Amino acid sequence: MEFRPIARATGAFQESLTGEQIQEICRRVFDADALAAVELGLGMYNNTYRVEVKGQLRPVVLRVAPVPGRQFRSERELMRNEYATVPWLASLAALMPRVLAADWTHEVVGRDYLVQTFLDGLPAPEHLGSYPRSSWTGYYRQMGTIAGRVHAIRGPHFGWVTGPGYLSWSEAVVASLTDIAADVEGVGLDGGDLRAAVVAAERHRDVLEEIREPRLLAGDLWNVNVMLDPVAAEPTITGVLDLDRTWWGDPAADWTIRMASAKPGTERDAFWETYGQPDRSEPATVRGLIYELRHLGTIRLERHRLGNADGVRTSYAEVAAVLARLA
């Protein structure tokens, strides 16, 4: 088998499988050998491979979760969360890969893995820049439509799709912030400011409690998880990938909303034309600051995981600025 893994430093968070492990997975799932496997490098959490399998007309995608012992409590078993979300996403089925196999047994490798269909297209971070910026508005309108479909889906509880489920949105937010703070402290960083974020969320429970209906949040839907038609005259979304951070809550807390709001006065403003205008009331602003604290906490963890010490240091000033606005 031709095998091309990504070379990483010893001790890197993402640990590649061996060629033999990939062969064992293919024999288990397809009862056939892998002919070639190439590790894909866009993601920063799971290990992802494009695999050609004997007897299969098209390549498949193998995604392998981190070893359990390296997963943060705030990111526990995300692949299982994604798998549990699939039945809720029928409205996006035409854009998403199909799951061919899921294996949580750890009998072949000591990690969860999914085998999925391979989506045609080019990753948006690679292809969007080939179009004139004047055409990007159409791309962001499509993003607004997709996000709107996700956020229209009603759920049974607040919190991760796989649980634990909470009866109130405030409980889910406080629990999430508490887990993130514990993860930050667990890797030897100061989490005092995130503990203060927990206190701030508890102080504003009444505002969080205004959210009474759980809606589906994509969790990580933005350019890096979108595929584009390689030959279309204008940017055209053909695929959506890796929705493993889905949870039930307030759509305004979604990463997609944060990113759409990040650069006002640019092409991203077109997102709101199809999604609908955001709530700019005082309670929504307070909630938005609490959501930003959660985002900044997860960003700190990711920067630490990637060895970005400067980014970790910067995050403390970013959190402090938001806490000051909530004071």
- Domain-wise residue ranges, the chain: 2-117, 122-326
What is the reported pLDDT for 41?
84
Q: What is the rounded CA–CA span in Å between residue 241 and residue 116?
A: 11
Look at residue 245 in the predicted model and tell me its pLDDT. 97
Distance CA 227, CA 147 (A): 15
CA distances from 92 to 95, 220, 226, 291 (A): 6, 15, 12, 25
For residues 88 and 155, give the distance between their C-alpha atoms in angstroms, rounded to a whole number: 9
pLDDT of residue 43: 80
CA distances from 188 to 12, 69, 184, 302, 317 (A): 17, 16, 7, 14, 18
The residues that bridge with 192 in the sheet, in sequence order, are: none
Q: Is 131 helix (H, G, I), strand (E, B) or coil?
A: coil
Q: Which residues of the chain have pLDDT under 50?
A: none
**Adjacent-strand bridge partners of 228:** 122, 237
pLDDT of residue 294: 98
Separation between Cα atoms, residue 83 and residue 86, nearest integer Å: 6
Type and span of the H or E element at 49 = strand 47-53
Distance separating alpha carbons of residues 299 and 262, to the nearest angstrom: 15
Q: Other CB atoms closer than 10 Å to residue 252's CB: what's the count?
A: 18
Contacts of 325 (CB under 8 A, 6+ apart): 289
Q: What is the token pair recorded at 318?
A: 């970013």
CATH domain 2-117 topology? Phosphorylase Kinase; domain 1 (3.30.200)
- Note the pLDDT of residue 55: 96
- Residue 280 buriedness (CB in 10 A; 0-12 / 13-18 / 19+): exposed
Q: What is the DSSP letter of 119?
A: P
Contact 248, 216 (CB under 8 A): yes
For residue 271, give both structure tokens: 């997102």
Q: What pTM does this model have?
A: 0.95
Give me the phi and psi of 299, to 5 degrees please: -65, -40
Q: What does the alpha-carbon distance between residue 288 and residue 142 come to, in Å, rounded to a whole number? A: 24
Within 13 Å, how many C-alpha atoms sit on residue 287's CB side?
24
What was the pLDDT predicted at 9? 86
| Strands 2-4, 34-40: pairing kind | parallel
pLDDT at 44: 86
> What CATH architecture is 122-326?
Alpha-Beta Complex (3.90)
Please answer whether residues 103 and 17 qualify as being in contact, where contact means their C-beta atoms are separated by less than 8 angstroms: no
Q: Is 64 helix (H, G, I), strand (E, B) or coil?
A: strand
Per-residue confidence (pLDDT) for residue 308, from 0 to 100: 95
| Interacting residues of 189 by C-beta distance below 8 A, sequence separation 6+ | 300, 304, 312
